[in-house]
Structure 1
Amino acid sequence: MKTNTKLLLTIVLLLLSLSISHLSPNVAWAESGSLKATNFQVDVKPEYDAPRTLVIYQGDFINPGTETIKKDTLISFIIPKGAEIGMACEITDQGGHDCQPYTTQDLDDNKVKLSWKITKDIAPNQKYPAYLEFYYDNGSAAPNKTFNYIFFPTDDIDNLDLNIVAPKNASNFVTTPAASMTGKDSKGLDRFSFNYKNQTPKDNVAVKVDYTKPDNKPSFDQPQIGESNPQSLSPGWNSQLSKPEVLIPILLFVAILAGILILGLNRDKQPAQGTYKGTVAKKKGPVSKKLSKAEAGNQEKRKLRQMLLDGKIDVDTYNQLLAEIKEDSK
């Protein structure tokens, strides 16, 4: 009987490890290179609201083929190694940010490939808007600062706009090559713009930046967009767990495994025991409700963050509205 119990335990542990690997957001997903970006924008903002460099990718992808690109296909971007991910999101039809669980894969030359699964089928000629925000250390040091920014396309891009924004109190700001257009951003900072047509994954875009600044003080105080944004488990994974179609099967599977395990352990001591009556299912409602409330608060914070970056509100208004969201989430 003890041999049977050990065998049962081994089978249960094996099933549990396989299920965890399947449910984890860091699994290897199928990838497709059939998406194409029609309009894509990259904003590079050194010392914007942190001593590091803020980079924002955003744009519309499209299915240029004749067959539907299926849900769960990967979309990928290349970012600097060591970057801190702020948001990795699909853009909803209402303009909101639906952040997704993502994986990262180390590449050579201090690069990382970040990927997430698209959550819907993309029909031929249908658009798929995406948004990625991260911070990284460009390695420059005061007072004479210099760094090289390189954008690595992962898909074909019809039209690419690259904007480099000079920090406040910077002098002698020079880009190499020279920008095709200069102006001001929504915050009044100097903006240096570049435009590229018909880019492919082989067409890397490199710009060298030089400027003088005696310190690493950012142009603006950093907004508090939330208590934390875990990097190994993105905010989008929490939103996935709050969905009944994901949460309920997980809870049922855990309950079944727990029942099998307890029956196996108690068989020798209490062979006449009845079926396991766990309490996991009773916890299902409160857990889902709590996650949904937290996700709702995070969604409002993301919208607020985007309004700040777009210049629709100032930092003081942002902080006031953020405090109200936090109070409502308690």
Structure 2
Amino acid sequence: MHKTGRGYRQNGDHGRTGIACAALCIIAILMTSLAGAQGQAEMGQSIYTRHCARCHGADGRGGPMASMLSVPPRNLTDRAYMQARTEEQLFEVIKHGGSALGVSATMPGFGQQLSDEQIWDTVAFIRTLPGAASTARSQPEGAAPGDTPTGDLRIQRLSVSIWPEYDDPRVLVILRGELAPQSPLPTRIRIPLPKGAELLGAGMISPQNQLLNHPHERLEGDTSDTLVLTVPIHRFFAEWYYDPFGEREPARQFTYPFALPYAMAQLDVDILQPDAATDFRITPAPMREDIDTRGGKHHLFSYRDLQPDAVQTFEVAYVKTTDAPSITKSQAMSGDLPPGHPQVSGLSRSTKTWVAFAMVAGFAVIFAGGVLVFRNKQLAPATVPSTMPAFSASQAAIATGQGKTPETGVEADQPEKTAEMGVEADQPEKTAEMGVEAPNYCSNCGRQLQATYIFCPGCGRSLQA
């Protein structure tokens, strides 16, 4: 320790120098980290060529292996798709594979082969491809990959079925939805769940209308929970039970408020009356009603152009003296579901009536057409059309290999061609009586004729009978 004033000042100078060096080190580290997050496109190009080009192509539009894959690789020049992806999302899918964002697992992860810095370099190069520049916002802190801001997501159509005591003493809720065509994919959808609800399944609906469970999670809340569903395609579903009744009294009622944090072009709600229920009431009053082929009564609502978080509340009340549901669990588990269920292609009674009417009308038209065709055949003349050269009796005899030709007197069993027919006499060609065409030639010039000729194209002779 220096006791002189100079000595203290020297110690202070060393301290300031140390602080400055530390600050420079921190700045260098931050700049290195920032550079790593941004990536260097020049470095990423060689990595992309080595690991990505075989499937995605050197230009991002597809490589030599693209046609061999069950799921085609992403076109990295798709402007609408790429502009909706953040750098963080691209980093995650390169590092962990397609399943990280709920897309095809055909896209492998490269986290074991590439460092984070190399992956960021690859992302930087991908952004240089035509149409791949990003306009998407970076993920908010704490947001999961694939999250889409609610203002950017729109539901094209959503159907909600609320079926109390259908195959269970609780209320069954069934969602079927479709995102608007311009919605970015993959994305995450947040659906409110009643507290204590039993989630039966959630995922996507395939082009073949199959319900496929897909990655989802449940976030616990104070008064309700949230289902976070990852979807790589536009159609999705979710199903759950919940029990709003408490004590099982004959007079039962519940209130179901429904809202989503997204704009909806169309919302359809179907509330099914339990089979054994009486004095069934809904507030608001249903817009229309329908009866399915099982006899179930559906109370239907339809809404258009709903804003985010718009709440539709339904109050249901009825009297039911038994706890037995409308159908049994075994029916539901075996797939022997009554028509009207969203998973069954059954028709409602009114729709079936129209289908039956259309079928009867169709059969009537077919029957009438058959009768007309039959009558026309009965009334049609048996003579050969005038445009067809008719066989004479002598020609028919020659064609069947019998008799002599009237002009030449050649025996029919001699292998010579007749003057009129040009048919070898010992070959029993097809006859006029059989209604089958035989080769024909002009008796004047020998030119072969077609059945539709009226005049000989060789000499001009009329071929009319």
- TM-score surpassing 0.5? yes
8 Å CA contact 1:103, 1:115 repeated in 2: yes
- The CA distance in 2 between the partners of 1:96 and 1:150, in whole Å, is 28
Residue 180 of structure 2 is matched in structure 1 by 62
Q: Match of 1:51, SS?
A: coil
Measure, in 2, the Cα distance between the counterparts of 1:187 and 1:134: 23
Match of residue 79 from structure 1: 193
Is 1:29 the counterpart of 2:144? The answer is yes
Q: Which residue of 1 aligns with 2:202?
A: 88
Q: Which amino acid aligns with 1:183?
A: D
Matches within 5 A, 1:180-219: 180-219=287-326
1:41-52 to structure 2, matched below 5 A, reads 41-52=159-170
Under a length normalisation based on structure 1, what TM-score does the superposition of the two structures give? 0.56
Q: Is the 8 A contact 1:76 1:154 kept in 2?
A: yes
CA distance in 1 between partners of 2:221 and 2:166 (Å): 27
**Per-residue deviation, 1:101:** 2.1
Matched residue type, 1:191: H
1:175 and 1:38 map into 2 onto residues whose CA distance is: 26
2:144 counterpart letter in structure 1: W
- Structure number with bigger Rg: 2
Distance 1:172 1:186, change over 3 A: same
Give 1:112 deviation, angstroms.
1.1
Residue in 2 that maps onto 1:99: 213
Relative to 1, partners in 2 of residues 1:133 and 1:306: Cα closer, same or farther, differing over 3 Å? farther
Structure 1 residue 224: Cα displacement:
7.3
Q: CA deviation at 1:28?
A: 6.1
Q: Deviation per CA, 1:40-75, whole angstroms, max 9, x where unpaired?
A: 11000000000011100102112446xxx243x312
Which blocks of at least 5 consecutive residues in structure 2 are unaligned? 1-95, 103-141, 347-465
After TM superposition, list the pairs within 5 Å mapping 1:1-330 onto structure 2: 29-30=144-145, 31-32=147-148, 33=150, 34-64=152-182, 69-71=184-186, 73-108=187-222, 110-119=223-232, 128-139=234-245, 141-223=248-330, 309-312=342-345
| More strand as a share of residues | 1
Q: Compared with structure 1, are the counterparts of its residues 179 and 225 closer, same or farther at alpha carbon in structure 2 (3 Å cutoff)? A: closer
Distance 1:119 1:306 in 2: 31
- Look up the equivalent residue of 1:81 and give its one-letter code: K
1:39, 1:186 → 2: CA distance? 25
Query: Number of matched residues?
Result: 204
**1-side partners of 2:293 and 2:224: how far apart?**
30
Residues 181, 304 of structure 1: alpha-carbon distance in 2 compared, 3 angstrom cutoff: same
Letter of the 2:189 partner, please give it. I
- What do you get for the CA RMSD once the two structures are aligned? 2.9
Match of 1:223, SS? helix
Q: Which moved more, 1:191-200 or 1:169-178?
A: 191-200
Q: Which amino acid aligns with 1:192?
A: H
Deviations 1:203-237, CA, capped at 9 Å, x for gaps: 111010110001221011013777xxxxxxxxxxx
Is the partner of 2:330 in helix, strand or coil?
coil
In 2 relative to 1, CA 29–83 (structure 1 residues): closer, same or farther, beyond 3 Å? same
Give the Cα separation in 2 of the matches to 1:186 and 1:57.
22
For 2:250 and 2:316, how far apart are their aligned partners in 1?
Answer: 14
Kept in 1: contact 2:252–2:320 (CA 8 A): yes
2:200 is paired with a residue of what secondary structure?
strand
Q: CA 1:135 to 1:306, structure 2 compared with 1: closer, same or farther past 3 Å? A: farther
Q: Which residue of 2 aligns with 1:231?
A: none
